Structures are given as structure tokens and as C-alpha cells.
Amino acid sequence: MAVNGKAPMIAVRGLKKRIGAQEILRGVDISVGTGETLVIIGRSGGGKSVLLKNLIGLMQPNEGEIWIDGQNIIGLSERQLAGIRRKVGILFQAGALFDSMTVEENIAFPLREAGERDAHVIEQKIGEILEVIELDGQQKKMPVNLSGGMKKRVGLARAIINRPSCILYDEPTAGLDPVVSDSINRLIRRLQERFHVTSVVVTHDMKSAFHIGDHIAYLHEGRIYFYGTPEEIQASTDPLIQDFLIGRATLAD
């Protein structure tokens, strides 16, 4: 499945995942072209986060293939996955900041782990990234003293500081007020434009989906039920899609 004629950065084939007795994913096929943004929407608890965690090897699927940048990641050991994980950043739902470190230390963590020892270089890179995420002056704060939106932005800074070619976002705007949501959306857009990263965004915020997505995939009952551009999904007459779109419009989140 080539997207827009470009080689796919991410290709998933027949992905199945069971957790306990529950079948979460029942054969997902999807691909994301390089530099493209795919938004995955669907009901809460529908397996969107599970799909995202499979993409970076945090969970192992029961069946199927996952190709990242031309490499099949199924069956790779934790240590073998490190190479892939350096190319792919992930923003966790609650930020997943290291609570024993300051904002600055959190953001510098990937740099230090990659072997950067020059304090000046680290400081300069942190300065740049804080400007991008608009959190200048908060370097010394501990994560526990940050609001939800700030945590997500710091989590994002930590995910992008090493310039991954692909970023996965798990519910980047869930639980945030509309203004902060909008700033996160603009941030995601800016990263696409400035660094040309490939993005996969899991959300059930339709406003966000239309704003940032090149394509939208609707995950329903463990399969991709609909795949298309934002315009196509809005024009769709499928009752299931319409219910979801209208449902979101009337059920303010």
C-alpha cells in the first residue's frame, strides 16, 4: 500500500493482538508515507493506544507484520529494538515524564543517553526546543509541579530532541482545555512543517484530527473501518462514520 507514491515509513499488515481473552486488534492493515500525518480515530478502549505501542515494540502482537523504515520489527529483542526506537519518538498520554528529574533533565535525557557530554551543546539544544514548545523559563521545575498541558509539551520536547524521523502521539489533546489543545495542534503542525517528520496521532478529538491529519483512519472493532482524507471522511455517508462524527460534535469532551 504505497501512499501518495512515496515509500511508506510505517507499514502494518494483518496485525492481531489479544490481551487476556479479549481480542483488541483483529487484523489491522495500515501504512504511513514518509513525512505524512496519519490520524487514527475510534471509540475509547478500541485499541488505538495498543496499536501505537505495538508500532514501537512496547507490546508484541500475536500475529502480523510491522515494518518501520523498511525493517520488520516483529520478533526483535528489547536490545535489537533500540535502533528503531532512536528513529521513532513517542508522546505518551500522560507525558510519562521521569518524576525524579527536572524538566531540563527530562528533555536532556535522550541527548545524554545518546552520548552527548558537552554541557554547552545540551543547554543550547534545550533552549531551542523550549522555544518550540513555548515553555521557556520552566527548566528547573519538577514534573509534579506542571499542569497536564505542560507535561505533554515537555514529553513532546523529550520525544523530539534527538530529531526522530517519526513521532507517535497518544491522545495529545485529551483532557486539555480548548486553548491548550489548539496550541498542541499547532505544535504538531509546526513539527511537520519544520522537521518533515512522519506522524501517527491517536485521538478522539475530531477538531484536532481535521486540523493535523493528511489521512484519517477509523479503527472500529479491531480493524481499520475507514481510511481517507479529512474531506473524504466528512463527505462519507456511512452511518457508522456519521454517528462517530456527530457523536463527537454533540458530546463535548
Partner 1 sequence: MFVRFFTAMGAVVVSFFIYLGEVVVLAGESLRSAVTHRMRWRLFMRQMVDIGLLSQLVVVITGGFTGAVFAAQTYFQFNKLGVASGVGAVVSAALFRELGPVLTGLMVTGRVGAAMSAEIGTMKVTEQIDALRALAVHPVDYLVVPRMLAMMVSMPLLVAECIFFGLIASYFVSVHILDISGPYYVANMVRWTLLRDIVMGLTKGFCFALLIVFISCHKGLTSREGAVGVGRATTEAVVNSSLAILIFNFFLTMFLNVIFPAGWQ
Residues lying near partner 1 in the complex (CB under 8 A) are found at 53, 56-58, 78-79, 81-83, 85-86, 88-90, 92-94, 96-99, 109-110, 113, 155, 158-159
User: Of 4 and 80, which CB lies nearer to partner 1 in the complex structure?
Assistant: 80
C-alpha distance across the termini of the chain, in Å: 34
3 state SS for 78-110: CCCCHHHHHHEEEECCCCCCCCCCCHHHHHHHH
List CB contacts of 22: < 8 A, sequence separation 6 or more.
Answer: none
Question: Measured from the CB atom, is 90 or 191 closer to partner 1?
Answer: 90
Q: How far is the CB of 168 from partner 1 (least distance, A)?
A: 9
CB of 63 to partner 1, least distance (A): 22
Q: Give me the least distance between CB of 207 and partner 1, in Å please.
A: 26
The residues with which 18 forms a beta bridge, in sequence order, are: 23
In this structure, what DSSP letter does residue 7 have? P
Smallest separation (angstroms) from partner 1 to the CB of 110? 5
CA angle 63, 48, 19 (to 5 degrees): 50
Q: How far is the CB of 216 from partner 1 (least distance, A)?
A: 24
Rounded distance, CA 172 to CA 149, Å?
Answer: 9
Q: Which is nearer to partner 1, 107 or 217 (CB)?
A: 107
CB nearer partner 1, residue 159 or residue 245: 159
Of 3 and 159, the one with the shorter C-beta distance to partner 1 is 159
